[in-house]
Structure 1
Amino acid sequence: MQMNEQEQLAAYRAMQAAIQQEYDRAADKMAALKAQGKEKTATYRQLFARKLTLSELLSWYKTYGLVP
């Protein structure tokens, strides 16, 4: 079933919010690990890679003027 424009807009907004929340969670977890001196752990490095990927997506949204 094809989405209409209103449904597409709602889906986009939900996706953008989810990406922003995931980015914020990754950043918070990284900060907690850093405070414990665990910057060299596999978890920290995985979070760093995830945060970088999410950051790239958010930058595309900004490039196209979709988020402030």
Structure 2
Amino acid sequence: MLTSVSVSTAGPIGFLGLLVPHMARKLVGNNFFLLIPASALLGALLLMLSDTLARAIAFPSETPVA
């Protein structure tokens, strides 16, 4: 319930911020020396891909983030 309220307030970027560390943990395991940089890189990559996809789908208009 708290997650849904925070995501509805912060927007989809907040949801990706919650999702990416779990995805990174599946990829690199529980080693925090690898997990933290992997989360940062995966988060940046996922945000760039989602922004590119949103711009490609609604080409003439802009997709609001929040």
Query: Would the TM-score normalized by the shorter structure come out above 0.5?
Result: no
TM-score (norm 1): 0.41
Q: Quick check: which has more Rg, 1 or 2?
A: 1
TM-score (norm 2): 0.42
